[in-house]
Amino acid sequence: MSEPISFRRKSRRLCSLHDGRFYTETWFCVLVFVLNLLLVSCATMDIPESKVRAAESYPLKTEHSKLLIAVHPVTDKTEINETFRTNLLDKGILPILVVAENRNPSTSFVLAKNKVAVVNRESVETSTAQRGRVTSETPGSALAMAGAAVISLPLLVAGMKMMSDAQVIEHNLADKAFYSRTVGPGQKVQGYIYFQLPQGTAALNQHHVLVEVVDSSTGEAMTFDFPISYSPR
């Protein structure tokens, strides 16, 4: 016995409504999934603050006139990635942390960024003969300084997410950079200076970090000398 026509039409209409609801819910789920992917892909990169220790805790440190200065070439890739969220060494950049603590109760010292240089051993002898006049343009300097924008520029090539990350990285590099300042009694300052490794650098075995500091009361300059080494892995 065949179904009544009215029942078949009602069943067909209900089936159509159910199918429409199914497709609507399916497309809604797909839309939510796509939006979640977009939100995840657009999430801002998070970079923690640097954990800078006391100057005396670093192996490379020197004290003159109760001014303690330490330098720390960052050559460990894990430390570099945690600090900058990009492997600077792979980009030919060697970051060097400079930490200064003024323990002199009555004297301030001027630290200028362009008075920090990485030079070879012959340049150390030359700068000593010149009464410690050190600049980033010191003859024989092996490493030139690199700016944050130059370091992060190669990242701006892979879409909006990569561009956003590059901007965060560039801001982080600039925020953690060392800049010129006067260090008063009891003050501590720190920051990174980014040096560009010459292309094809095999190792840095006979190089020194020279930091020239000026006594603000006498105008006398003194040079802090730190031998460093670096071997790319």
Model confidence pLDDT, tens digit, residues 65-75? 999 999 999 99
Counting Cα atoms < 13 Å in the Cβ hemisphere of 124 gives 16
Dump the DSSP string for 137-194.
T-TTEEEEE--HHHHHGGGTTSHHHHHHHHHHHHHHHHHTB---EEE-TT-EEEEEEE
Q: What is the pLDDT of residues 145-192, one digit of tens each?
A: 765 444 544 544 444 456 677 778 888 888 899 999 999 999 999 999
Which three-class secondary structure state does DSSP give residue 45?
Answer: coil
What average pLDDT does the chain have?
75
pLDDT band at 44 (very low <50, low <70, confident <90, very high): low
Compute CA distances 127 → 72, 136, 178, 208, 230, whole Å: 22, 12, 22, 11, 22
pLDDT value for 8: 47
Radius of gyration of the chain (CA): 30
d(CA 116, CA 110): 12
pLDDT value for 164: 72
d(CA 81, CA 95): 12
pLDDT band at 43 (very low <50, low <70, confident <90, very high): low
> Among the listed ranges 22-26, 59-63, 128-132, 198-202, which one has the minimum average pLDDT value?
128-132
Topology annotation, domain 55-230: Immunoglobulin-like (2.60.40)
pLDDT value for 7: 40
pLDDT value for 161: 56
For residue 182, count CB atoms less than 10 angstroms from its CB and return exposed for 0-12, middle for 13-18, buried for 19 or more.
middle
pLDDT value for 147: 57
Higher per-residue confidence, 40 vs 232: 232
Looking at the predicted structure, is the pLDDT value of residue 23 above 60? no
> Among the listed ranges 1-5, 13-17, 94-98, 203-207, which one has the minimum average pLDDT value?
13-17
pTM, entire model: 0.70
> Among the listed ranges 27-36, 42-51, 54-63, 89-98, which one has the minimum average pLDDT value?
27-36
Sign of dihedral through CA atoms 64, 137, 226, 129? negative
Strand partners, 195: 94, 145
Which three-class secondary structure state does DSSP give residue 39?
Answer: helix
What is the CA angle 120-121-122, rounded to 5?
Answer: 95
